[in-house]
Copies of this chain bind each other. A is one copy, B any other.
Amino acid sequence: MFNDFKIQDEDRPAYIQVKEYLKRLIAKGALQENQKLPSTREMSVLLAVSRNTILAAYSDLEEEGLIYALKGKGSYVAGVHRTSEESQPALQTDWSARVSGYARKAVELDRMKNGIRTPRRSTISFTSIAPDEQLFDLDHVKRAFLDRMALEGHVLLNYGYAKGYKPLIELLMRYMEQKGVELEGKDLLITSGFTEGFDIVLSALHRRHGAVLCENPTHQTAIKNLKLNGFDVTGIEMEHDGIHLGKLKEALMERAYDCAYLVPSYHNPTGIVTSPAKRIALMKLMAEYQIPVIEDGFNEELRYSSSHALPLMSIGGRGNGVVYLGSFSKVLFPGLRVGWVLADKQLIDYLESIKRARSIHTSTIDQAILFQYLHNGHLDKYLKRARFEYKKKYEWTRQCCEKYLPDARLSGDGGLHLFLEFAPGFDTHKLLASCSEQGVVFTPGDMFYTDGSGRNTMRIGFSRVSLEDIEEGLRIIGATARMQGQK
Protein backbone atom coordinates (compact mmCIF):
# COMPACT_ATOMS: atom_id res chain seq x y z
CA MET A 1 0.00 0.00 0.00
CA PHE A 2 0.97 3.65 -0.54
CA ASN A 3 3.26 2.69 -3.41
CA ASP A 4 0.94 4.06 -6.08
CA PHE A 5 1.20 7.66 -4.93
CA LYS A 6 2.92 10.23 -7.02
CA ILE A 7 2.85 14.00 -7.27
CA GLN A 8 0.57 14.63 -10.25
CA ASP A 9 1.03 18.32 -10.65
CA GLU A 10 4.01 20.38 -9.55
CA ASP A 11 1.82 23.51 -9.41
CA ARG A 12 -0.53 22.20 -6.69
CA PRO A 13 0.45 22.16 -3.02
CA ALA A 14 1.86 18.69 -2.25
CA TYR A 15 -0.05 18.32 1.03
CA ILE A 16 -3.32 18.66 -0.85
CA GLN A 17 -2.33 15.93 -3.27
CA VAL A 18 -1.41 13.68 -0.33
CA LYS A 19 -4.66 14.49 1.42
CA GLU A 20 -6.72 13.72 -1.69
CA TYR A 21 -4.84 10.47 -2.17
CA LEU A 22 -5.60 9.35 1.38
CA LYS A 23 -9.21 10.50 1.10
CA ARG A 24 -9.63 8.30 -1.92
CA LEU A 25 -8.18 5.30 -0.07
CA ILE A 26 -10.58 5.90 2.82
CA ALA A 27 -13.56 6.46 0.52
CA LYS A 28 -12.81 3.26 -1.37
CA GLY A 29 -12.43 1.27 1.83
CA ALA A 30 -8.76 0.48 1.13
CA LEU A 31 -8.07 2.14 4.46
CA GLN A 32 -10.54 0.83 6.99
CA GLU A 33 -12.13 2.12 10.16
CA ASN A 34 -9.73 2.22 13.12
CA GLN A 35 -6.80 1.15 10.96
CA LYS A 36 -3.55 2.76 12.15
CA LEU A 37 -1.85 5.03 9.66
CA PRO A 38 1.94 5.02 9.28
CA SER A 39 3.57 7.71 11.41
CA THR A 40 4.22 11.02 9.70
CA ARG A 41 7.90 10.11 9.50
CA GLU A 42 7.21 6.69 7.94
CA MET A 43 4.60 8.12 5.59
CA SER A 44 6.98 10.81 4.36
CA VAL A 45 9.39 8.05 3.36
CA LEU A 46 6.65 5.93 1.79
CA LEU A 47 5.25 8.77 -0.31
CA ALA A 48 8.61 10.48 -0.90
CA VAL A 49 7.44 13.90 0.29
CA SER A 50 8.58 16.06 3.21
CA ARG A 51 7.38 15.34 6.72
CA ASN A 52 5.80 18.78 6.88
CA THR A 53 3.67 17.83 3.92
CA ILE A 54 2.40 14.76 5.77
CA LEU A 55 1.83 16.78 8.94
CA ALA A 56 -0.30 19.29 7.03
CA ALA A 57 -2.25 16.52 5.29
CA TYR A 58 -2.94 14.62 8.55
CA SER A 59 -3.97 17.82 10.28
CA ASP A 60 -6.52 18.61 7.56
CA LEU A 61 -7.86 15.06 7.52
CA GLU A 62 -8.29 15.20 11.28
CA GLU A 63 -10.14 18.50 11.02
CA GLU A 64 -12.42 17.00 8.41
CA GLY A 65 -13.17 14.09 10.71
CA LEU A 66 -11.64 11.47 8.45
CA ILE A 67 -8.88 10.41 10.82
CA TYR A 68 -8.38 10.75 14.57
CA ALA A 69 -5.24 10.98 16.69
CA LEU A 70 -4.58 9.09 19.92
CA LYS A 71 -2.03 10.89 22.02
CA GLY A 72 1.35 9.16 21.90
CA LYS A 73 -0.07 6.37 19.75
CA GLY A 74 -0.59 7.83 16.30
CA SER A 75 -3.33 8.50 13.76
CA TYR A 76 -6.23 6.19 12.95
CA VAL A 77 -8.90 6.09 10.27
CA ALA A 78 -12.27 7.31 11.50
CA GLY A 79 -15.45 5.49 10.61
CA VAL A 80 -17.12 6.79 7.49
CA HIS A 81 -20.07 4.50 8.09
CA ARG A 82 -19.87 2.87 4.74
CA THR A 83 -21.78 -0.27 4.09
CA SER A 84 -20.10 -3.30 2.62
CA GLU A 85 -20.56 -3.70 -1.10
CA GLU A 86 -23.01 -6.57 -0.70
CA SER A 87 -25.27 -4.71 1.71
CA GLN A 88 -25.36 -1.48 -0.28
CA PRO A 89 -28.95 -0.52 -1.00
CA ALA A 90 -29.34 -1.06 -4.73
CA LEU A 91 -31.43 1.88 -5.87
CA GLN A 92 -31.45 1.19 -9.58
CA THR A 93 -33.48 3.41 -11.88
CA ASP A 94 -34.48 2.90 -15.48
CA TRP A 95 -34.05 6.50 -16.50
CA SER A 96 -35.14 5.94 -20.08
CA ALA A 97 -38.60 5.12 -18.72
CA ARG A 98 -38.60 8.08 -16.36
CA VAL A 99 -37.67 11.02 -18.57
CA SER A 100 -40.26 13.50 -19.78
CA GLY A 101 -41.38 14.12 -23.34
CA TYR A 102 -39.69 17.50 -23.06
CA ALA A 103 -36.33 15.83 -22.32
CA ARG A 104 -36.77 13.44 -25.24
CA LYS A 105 -37.62 16.30 -27.56
CA ALA A 106 -34.60 18.27 -26.34
CA VAL A 107 -32.33 15.40 -27.36
CA GLU A 108 -34.14 14.83 -30.63
CA LEU A 109 -33.86 18.51 -31.62
CA ASP A 110 -30.28 18.80 -30.36
CA ARG A 111 -28.34 19.63 -33.48
CA MET A 112 -25.01 19.22 -31.69
CA LYS A 113 -25.87 15.60 -31.12
CA ASN A 114 -27.49 14.82 -34.43
CA GLY A 115 -25.63 15.06 -37.66
CA ILE A 116 -22.98 17.59 -36.77
CA ARG A 117 -19.60 15.99 -37.08
CA THR A 118 -16.76 17.85 -35.45
CA PRO A 119 -14.45 18.67 -38.37
CA ARG A 120 -10.92 17.33 -38.36
CA ARG A 121 -8.21 19.88 -37.65
CA SER A 122 -7.14 20.21 -41.26
CA THR A 123 -10.69 20.61 -42.53
CA ILE A 124 -11.79 23.94 -43.97
CA SER A 125 -14.95 24.52 -41.97
CA PHE A 126 -17.63 27.03 -42.96
CA THR A 127 -19.98 25.74 -40.26
CA SER A 128 -19.18 28.23 -37.50
CA ILE A 129 -20.57 31.73 -37.19
CA ALA A 130 -18.79 32.33 -33.89
CA PRO A 131 -16.45 35.31 -33.84
CA ASP A 132 -12.80 34.96 -34.78
CA GLU A 133 -11.00 34.65 -31.45
CA GLN A 134 -7.83 36.09 -32.94
CA LEU A 135 -9.60 39.45 -32.83
CA PHE A 136 -10.31 39.31 -29.08
CA ASP A 137 -8.61 42.10 -27.16
CA LEU A 138 -7.76 40.07 -24.09
CA ASP A 139 -5.89 42.88 -22.38
CA HIS A 140 -8.96 45.07 -22.26
CA VAL A 141 -10.99 42.20 -20.86
CA LYS A 142 -8.40 41.60 -18.14
CA ARG A 143 -8.29 45.32 -17.40
CA ALA A 144 -12.08 45.46 -17.17
CA PHE A 145 -12.08 42.54 -14.71
CA LEU A 146 -9.33 43.99 -12.52
CA ASP A 147 -10.87 47.48 -12.53
CA ARG A 148 -14.20 46.10 -11.37
CA MET A 149 -12.70 43.71 -8.80
CA ALA A 150 -10.68 46.57 -7.31
CA LEU A 151 -13.81 48.71 -7.03
CA GLU A 152 -16.22 46.13 -5.64
CA GLY A 153 -14.81 42.62 -5.65
CA HIS A 154 -16.85 41.65 -2.60
CA VAL A 155 -20.04 42.68 -4.32
CA LEU A 156 -19.21 40.78 -7.50
CA LEU A 157 -18.59 37.54 -5.65
CA ASN A 158 -21.69 37.58 -3.44
CA TYR A 159 -25.30 37.21 -4.57
CA GLY A 160 -26.55 39.64 -7.20
CA TYR A 161 -30.03 40.43 -8.45
CA ALA A 162 -32.22 38.35 -10.75
CA LYS A 163 -32.88 41.47 -12.80
CA GLY A 164 -29.19 41.96 -13.39
CA TYR A 165 -26.16 44.00 -12.41
CA LYS A 166 -27.44 47.56 -12.02
CA PRO A 167 -24.63 49.47 -13.77
CA LEU A 168 -25.01 47.17 -16.79
CA ILE A 169 -28.80 47.56 -16.87
CA GLU A 170 -28.45 51.33 -16.96
CA LEU A 171 -25.76 51.24 -19.61
CA LEU A 172 -27.82 48.95 -21.86
CA MET A 173 -30.91 51.12 -21.44
CA ARG A 174 -28.89 54.12 -22.70
CA TYR A 175 -27.50 51.94 -25.48
CA MET A 176 -31.00 51.01 -26.62
CA GLU A 177 -32.10 54.62 -26.37
CA GLN A 178 -29.40 55.51 -28.90
CA LYS A 179 -31.02 53.00 -31.23
CA GLY A 180 -34.13 55.13 -31.06
CA VAL A 181 -36.05 53.02 -28.56
CA GLU A 182 -38.63 54.84 -26.48
CA LEU A 183 -37.89 53.69 -22.91
CA GLU A 184 -41.05 55.02 -21.26
CA GLY A 185 -43.00 52.10 -19.81
CA LYS A 186 -40.25 49.62 -20.63
CA ASP A 187 -37.76 47.75 -18.50
CA LEU A 188 -34.71 45.55 -19.00
CA LEU A 189 -33.81 42.09 -17.71
CA ILE A 190 -30.29 40.64 -17.98
CA THR A 191 -30.15 37.00 -19.06
CA SER A 192 -27.37 34.49 -19.65
CA GLY A 193 -27.36 35.16 -23.37
CA PHE A 194 -29.98 35.31 -26.15
CA THR A 195 -31.03 31.69 -25.80
CA GLU A 196 -31.93 31.94 -22.12
CA GLY A 197 -33.81 35.18 -22.78
CA PHE A 198 -35.77 33.62 -25.64
CA ASP A 199 -36.61 30.50 -23.65
CA ILE A 200 -37.81 32.55 -20.68
CA VAL A 201 -39.97 34.78 -22.90
CA LEU A 202 -41.54 31.74 -24.58
CA SER A 203 -42.24 30.07 -21.23
CA ALA A 204 -44.01 33.25 -20.12
CA LEU A 205 -46.33 33.32 -23.14
CA HIS A 206 -49.78 31.87 -22.79
CA ARG A 207 -50.23 29.33 -25.62
CA ARG A 208 -53.66 30.54 -26.57
CA HIS A 209 -53.34 29.52 -30.21
CA GLY A 210 -50.16 27.46 -29.83
CA ALA A 211 -48.68 29.00 -32.96
CA VAL A 212 -45.87 31.39 -33.79
CA LEU A 213 -44.90 33.13 -37.02
CA CYS A 214 -41.32 33.54 -38.19
CA GLU A 215 -39.20 34.01 -41.27
CA ASN A 216 -38.49 30.86 -43.28
CA PRO A 217 -35.69 29.88 -43.03
CA THR A 218 -34.68 31.15 -39.59
CA HIS A 219 -32.31 30.67 -36.61
CA GLN A 220 -32.23 26.94 -35.89
CA THR A 221 -32.05 27.33 -32.09
CA ALA A 222 -35.15 29.51 -32.22
CA ILE A 223 -37.11 26.83 -34.10
CA LYS A 224 -35.94 24.29 -31.52
CA ASN A 225 -36.97 26.41 -28.54
CA LEU A 226 -40.31 27.29 -30.09
CA LYS A 227 -41.06 23.59 -30.54
CA LEU A 228 -39.76 22.71 -27.07
CA ASN A 229 -42.12 25.29 -25.64
CA GLY A 230 -45.03 23.67 -27.43
CA PHE A 231 -45.59 26.10 -30.30
CA ASP A 232 -46.37 25.22 -33.90
CA VAL A 233 -44.03 27.16 -36.15
CA THR A 234 -45.26 28.82 -39.35
CA GLY A 235 -42.42 30.09 -41.51
CA ILE A 236 -43.00 32.85 -44.07
CA GLU A 237 -40.89 32.99 -47.22
CA MET A 238 -38.13 35.61 -47.47
CA GLU A 239 -37.51 38.11 -50.26
CA HIS A 240 -34.22 39.93 -50.86
CA ASP A 241 -35.29 42.75 -48.52
CA GLY A 242 -36.94 40.73 -45.79
CA ILE A 243 -40.05 38.71 -45.11
CA HIS A 244 -42.64 38.40 -47.94
CA LEU A 245 -45.39 40.74 -46.77
CA GLY A 246 -48.05 39.29 -49.05
CA LYS A 247 -47.52 35.78 -47.77
CA LEU A 248 -47.36 37.10 -44.24
CA LYS A 249 -50.74 38.75 -44.68
CA GLU A 250 -52.20 35.54 -46.10
CA ALA A 251 -50.98 33.60 -43.08
CA LEU A 252 -52.42 36.20 -40.73
CA MET A 253 -55.81 35.99 -42.37
CA GLU A 254 -55.83 32.23 -42.19
CA ARG A 255 -55.40 31.70 -38.47
CA ALA A 256 -54.47 33.32 -35.16
CA TYR A 257 -50.95 33.43 -33.76
CA ASP A 258 -49.57 34.04 -30.29
CA CYS A 259 -46.61 36.05 -31.53
CA ALA A 260 -44.02 36.50 -34.27
CA TYR A 261 -40.29 35.88 -33.97
CA LEU A 262 -38.33 38.11 -36.37
CA VAL A 263 -34.65 38.73 -37.12
CA PRO A 264 -34.56 42.03 -39.04
CA SER A 265 -30.76 42.44 -39.28
CA TYR A 266 -28.26 40.00 -40.78
CA HIS A 267 -30.93 37.39 -40.51
CA ASN A 268 -29.65 33.92 -39.68
CA PRO A 269 -29.13 32.05 -42.01
CA THR A 270 -29.84 34.27 -45.03
CA GLY A 271 -27.86 37.32 -43.93
CA ILE A 272 -30.66 39.55 -45.24
CA VAL A 273 -31.22 42.97 -43.68
CA THR A 274 -34.90 43.89 -43.71
CA SER A 275 -35.19 47.24 -45.48
CA PRO A 276 -36.32 50.30 -43.50
CA ALA A 277 -39.49 50.60 -45.60
CA LYS A 278 -40.35 46.95 -45.03
CA ARG A 279 -39.74 47.31 -41.30
CA ILE A 280 -42.40 50.00 -41.14
CA ALA A 281 -44.86 48.05 -43.28
CA LEU A 282 -44.20 44.94 -41.20
CA MET A 283 -44.90 46.72 -37.96
CA LYS A 284 -48.11 48.16 -39.40
CA LEU A 285 -49.27 44.65 -40.26
CA MET A 286 -48.37 43.37 -36.80
CA ALA A 287 -50.28 46.26 -35.24
CA GLU A 288 -53.28 45.60 -37.45
CA TYR A 289 -53.46 41.94 -36.40
CA GLN A 290 -52.30 42.64 -32.83
CA ILE A 291 -49.41 40.15 -32.94
CA PRO A 292 -46.70 40.79 -30.37
CA VAL A 293 -43.22 40.64 -31.86
CA ILE A 294 -40.10 39.01 -30.42
CA GLU A 295 -37.28 40.89 -32.13
CA ASP A 296 -33.90 39.18 -32.30
CA GLY A 297 -31.26 41.94 -32.42
CA PHE A 298 -28.78 39.43 -33.82
CA ASN A 299 -25.58 41.05 -35.11
CA GLU A 300 -27.24 44.42 -35.57
CA GLU A 301 -23.80 45.82 -34.78
CA LEU A 302 -22.06 44.12 -37.69
CA ARG A 303 -23.06 46.57 -40.39
CA TYR A 304 -20.54 46.88 -43.19
CA SER A 305 -22.25 49.02 -45.75
CA SER A 306 -26.02 49.16 -46.00
CA SER A 307 -27.80 52.17 -44.60
CA HIS A 308 -28.81 52.53 -40.99
CA ALA A 309 -32.01 50.78 -39.98
CA LEU A 310 -33.94 51.20 -36.76
CA PRO A 311 -34.92 48.15 -34.70
CA LEU A 312 -38.59 47.16 -34.96
CA MET A 313 -38.94 48.23 -31.35
CA SER A 314 -37.98 51.80 -32.28
CA ILE A 315 -40.45 51.82 -35.14
CA GLY A 316 -43.09 50.68 -32.68
CA GLY A 317 -42.50 53.90 -30.73
CA ARG A 318 -44.53 54.08 -27.53
CA GLY A 319 -46.24 50.79 -28.26
CA ASN A 320 -45.38 47.95 -25.88
CA GLY A 321 -45.87 45.02 -28.26
CA VAL A 322 -42.22 44.40 -29.18
CA VAL A 323 -39.93 42.30 -26.98
CA TYR A 324 -36.32 43.01 -27.95
CA LEU A 325 -33.67 40.35 -27.33
CA GLY A 326 -30.10 41.62 -27.43
CA SER A 327 -26.68 40.06 -27.04
CA PHE A 328 -23.09 40.88 -27.90
CA SER A 329 -22.17 37.19 -28.08
CA LYS A 330 -21.52 37.07 -31.80
CA VAL A 331 -20.00 40.53 -31.87
CA LEU A 332 -17.82 40.36 -28.78
CA PHE A 333 -17.23 37.27 -26.68
CA PRO A 334 -19.61 34.27 -26.68
CA GLY A 335 -17.86 32.98 -23.55
CA LEU A 336 -19.38 35.87 -21.59
CA ARG A 337 -22.93 34.56 -21.21
CA VAL A 338 -24.80 37.86 -21.11
CA GLY A 339 -27.83 38.99 -23.07
CA TRP A 340 -30.82 41.19 -22.34
CA VAL A 341 -34.56 41.46 -22.81
CA LEU A 342 -36.01 44.94 -23.24
CA ALA A 343 -39.79 44.94 -23.05
CA ASP A 344 -42.92 46.26 -21.42
CA LYS A 345 -42.36 46.86 -17.69
CA GLN A 346 -45.17 44.57 -16.64
CA LEU A 347 -43.91 41.72 -18.79
CA ILE A 348 -40.35 42.15 -17.47
CA ASP A 349 -41.75 41.74 -13.97
CA TYR A 350 -43.02 38.27 -14.90
CA LEU A 351 -39.79 37.40 -16.70
CA GLU A 352 -37.74 38.46 -13.68
CA SER A 353 -39.54 35.96 -11.45
CA ILE A 354 -39.00 33.19 -14.01
CA LYS A 355 -35.32 34.10 -14.30
CA ARG A 356 -35.01 33.94 -10.49
CA ALA A 357 -36.74 30.56 -10.37
CA ARG A 358 -34.55 29.14 -13.10
CA SER A 359 -31.06 30.37 -12.32
CA ILE A 360 -31.19 33.02 -9.54
CA HIS A 361 -29.15 35.46 -11.61
CA THR A 362 -26.57 35.73 -14.40
CA SER A 363 -22.88 35.54 -13.50
CA THR A 364 -22.01 38.87 -11.90
CA ILE A 365 -18.43 38.62 -13.07
CA ASP A 366 -19.51 38.24 -16.70
CA GLN A 367 -21.85 41.20 -16.31
CA ALA A 368 -19.24 43.32 -14.55
CA ILE A 369 -16.59 42.60 -17.19
CA LEU A 370 -19.03 43.45 -19.97
CA PHE A 371 -20.13 46.61 -18.19
CA GLN A 372 -16.61 47.87 -17.60
CA TYR A 373 -15.51 46.94 -21.12
CA LEU A 374 -18.42 48.91 -22.61
CA HIS A 375 -18.03 51.73 -20.14
CA ASN A 376 -14.36 52.14 -21.05
CA GLY A 377 -15.45 52.60 -24.65
CA HIS A 378 -13.76 49.44 -25.93
CA LEU A 379 -16.80 48.17 -27.85
CA ASP A 380 -16.55 51.00 -30.37
CA LYS A 381 -12.85 50.46 -30.93
CA TYR A 382 -13.27 46.71 -31.13
CA LEU A 383 -16.19 46.96 -33.55
CA LYS A 384 -14.12 49.15 -35.88
CA ARG A 385 -11.45 46.50 -36.06
CA ALA A 386 -13.90 43.62 -36.24
CA ARG A 387 -15.93 45.28 -39.01
CA PHE A 388 -12.74 45.94 -40.96
CA GLU A 389 -11.63 42.31 -40.72
CA TYR A 390 -15.01 40.70 -41.26
CA LYS A 391 -15.86 43.03 -44.13
CA LYS A 392 -12.68 41.91 -45.89
CA LYS A 393 -13.70 38.28 -45.44
CA TYR A 394 -17.30 39.00 -46.36
CA GLU A 395 -16.37 40.65 -49.65
CA TRP A 396 -13.82 37.97 -50.44
CA THR A 397 -16.35 35.23 -49.75
CA ARG A 398 -18.88 36.93 -52.04
CA GLN A 399 -16.30 37.18 -54.82
CA CYS A 400 -15.28 33.57 -54.45
CA CYS A 401 -18.91 32.43 -54.45
CA GLU A 402 -19.59 34.40 -57.60
CA LYS A 403 -16.51 32.90 -59.24
CA TYR A 404 -16.82 29.26 -58.17
CA LEU A 405 -20.57 28.93 -57.68
CA PRO A 406 -21.96 31.27 -60.31
CA ASP A 407 -25.25 29.40 -60.54
CA ALA A 408 -26.20 29.63 -56.90
CA ARG A 409 -28.31 32.53 -55.69
CA LEU A 410 -26.42 34.46 -53.05
CA SER A 411 -27.83 36.43 -50.14
CA GLY A 412 -26.28 38.21 -47.18
CA ASP A 413 -25.66 41.91 -46.61
CA GLY A 414 -23.20 41.62 -43.74
CA GLY A 415 -22.63 39.76 -40.52
CA LEU A 416 -20.57 36.60 -40.34
CA HIS A 417 -22.11 34.39 -43.02
CA LEU A 418 -23.63 34.15 -46.51
CA PHE A 419 -26.44 31.97 -47.75
CA LEU A 420 -26.56 30.10 -51.06
CA GLU A 421 -29.59 28.78 -52.84
CA PHE A 422 -29.11 26.27 -55.67
CA ALA A 423 -31.65 25.26 -58.29
CA PRO A 424 -34.65 23.26 -57.04
CA GLY A 425 -33.74 19.58 -56.80
CA PHE A 426 -30.12 20.27 -55.93
CA ASP A 427 -29.15 18.41 -52.73
CA THR A 428 -26.62 20.12 -50.45
CA HIS A 429 -26.50 17.05 -48.19
CA LYS A 430 -25.12 15.05 -51.09
CA LEU A 431 -22.76 17.90 -51.86
CA LEU A 432 -21.61 18.00 -48.24
CA ALA A 433 -20.87 14.28 -48.22
CA SER A 434 -18.49 14.64 -51.17
CA CYS A 435 -16.94 17.90 -49.98
CA SER A 436 -16.41 16.49 -46.52
CA GLU A 437 -14.24 13.73 -48.01
CA GLN A 438 -12.17 16.44 -49.61
CA GLY A 439 -11.79 18.30 -46.31
CA VAL A 440 -14.41 21.03 -46.70
CA VAL A 441 -17.59 21.33 -44.63
CA PHE A 442 -20.50 23.78 -44.50
CA THR A 443 -23.98 23.83 -43.01
CA PRO A 444 -26.78 22.41 -45.20
CA GLY A 445 -29.62 24.92 -45.13
CA ASP A 446 -32.62 22.67 -44.53
CA MET A 447 -32.15 22.66 -40.75
CA PHE A 448 -33.10 26.33 -40.78
CA TYR A 449 -36.41 25.70 -42.52
CA THR A 450 -39.62 25.33 -40.60
CA ASP A 451 -41.26 23.07 -43.19
CA GLY A 452 -38.59 20.55 -44.17
CA SER A 453 -37.74 22.38 -47.39
CA GLY A 454 -34.42 24.06 -48.23
CA ARG A 455 -32.41 20.98 -49.17
CA ASN A 456 -31.05 23.05 -52.05
CA THR A 457 -29.56 25.69 -49.72
CA MET A 458 -26.49 26.09 -47.57
CA ARG A 459 -24.93 28.53 -45.11
CA ILE A 460 -21.31 29.63 -45.44
CA GLY A 461 -19.90 30.99 -42.18
CA PHE A 462 -16.65 32.81 -42.91
CA SER A 463 -15.73 34.46 -39.61
CA ARG A 464 -13.13 31.90 -38.57
CA VAL A 465 -11.76 30.92 -41.98
CA SER A 466 -8.63 32.51 -43.48
CA LEU A 467 -8.80 34.26 -46.87
CA GLU A 468 -6.83 31.47 -48.54
CA ASP A 469 -9.02 28.78 -47.04
CA ILE A 470 -12.13 30.68 -48.09
CA GLU A 471 -11.02 30.54 -51.72
CA GLU A 472 -9.73 26.96 -51.55
CA GLY A 473 -12.89 25.76 -49.81
CA LEU A 474 -15.27 27.45 -52.24
CA ARG A 475 -13.21 26.23 -55.19
CA ILE A 476 -13.65 22.65 -53.98
CA ILE A 477 -17.36 23.14 -53.27
CA GLY A 478 -17.83 24.63 -56.75
CA ALA A 479 -15.91 21.88 -58.53
CA THR A 480 -17.76 19.20 -56.59
CA ALA A 481 -21.14 20.72 -57.35
CA ARG A 482 -20.32 20.66 -61.08
CA MET A 483 -18.92 17.13 -60.90
CA GLN A 484 -22.06 15.87 -59.21
CA GLY A 485 -23.76 16.90 -62.41
CA GLN A 486 -26.23 18.84 -60.40
CA LYS A 487 -27.11 22.27 -61.50
Cα distance, A12 to B291, chains bound together (Å): 41
Cα distance, A12 to B377, chains bound together (Å): 6
Kindly identify, within residues 144 to 185 of chain A, every residue whose CB is under 8 Å from any CB belonging to chain B: 145-146, 149, 153-160, 162, 174, 177-181
Stretch from A47-55, A211-219, A334-342 contacting the other chain: A334-342
**Cβ–Cβ contact A157 & B138, under 8 A:** yes
Residues of B within 8 A of A9 (CB): 375
Stretch from A82-90, A428-436, A442-450 contacting the other chain: A82-90
A141 on the B face (CB < 8 A): yes
Q: How far is the CB of A25 from chain B (nearest CB, A)?
A: 10
Residues of B within 8 A of A193 (CB): 359-360
Residues of B within 8 A of A160 (CB): 335
**Cβ–Cβ contact B335 & A88, under 8 A:** no
Residues of B within 8 A of A98 (CB): 205-206, 208, 258, 292
Residues of B within 8 A of A347 (CB): 95, 99
Stretch from A232-240, A315-323, A402-410 contacting the other chain: A315-323
**Cβ–Cβ contact B284 & A89, under 8 A:** yes
A346 on the B face (CB < 8 A): yes
Evaluate whether A199 and B358 lie within 8 angstroms (CB atoms) in the complex, with A141-B149, A157-B336, A365-B369 already known: yes
Q: How far is the CB of A312 from chain B (nearest CB, A)?
A: 9
Kindly identify, within residues 341 to 372 of chain A, every residue whose CB is under 8 Å from any CB belonging to chain B: 344, 346-347, 349-351, 353-354, 356-366, 369
Cα distance, A2 to B462, chains bound together (Å): 42
**Cβ–Cβ contact A349 & B276, under 8 A:** no
Cα distance, A193 to B346, chains bound together (Å): 27
Residue of A276, A283, A350, A357 most packed against chain B (CB within 10 A) = A357
A253 on the B face (CB < 8 A): no
Q: How far is the CB of A211 from chain B (nearest CB, A)?
A: 14
Q: How far is the CB of A258 from chain B (nearest CB, A)?
A: 8
**Cβ–Cβ contact A138 & B153, under 8 A:** yes
Cα distance, A89 to B78, chains bound together (Å): 74
Cα distance, A174 to B279, chains bound together (Å): 54
Cα distance, A318 to B228, chains bound together (Å): 33
Cα distance, A64 to B203, chains bound together (Å): 36
**Cβ–Cβ contact B205 & A100, under 8 A:** yes
Stretch from A37-45, A303-311, A479-487 contacting the other chain: A303-311
Closest residue of chain B to A332 (Cβ to Cβ) is: B157
**Cβ–Cβ contact A142 & B146, under 8 A:** yes
Closest residue of chain B to A376 (Cβ to Cβ) is: B12
A-B contact pairs, 25 of them (CB 8 A): A11-B375, A24-B177, A63-B384, A65-B308, A78-B307, A80-B180, A81-B309, A82-B314, A85-B317, A88-B319, A91-B293, A91-B322, A93-B292, A98-B206, A99-B350, A100-B203, A103-B353, A103-B354, A133-B157, A136-B153, A142-B153, A224-B357, A335-B365, A337-B364, A365-B365
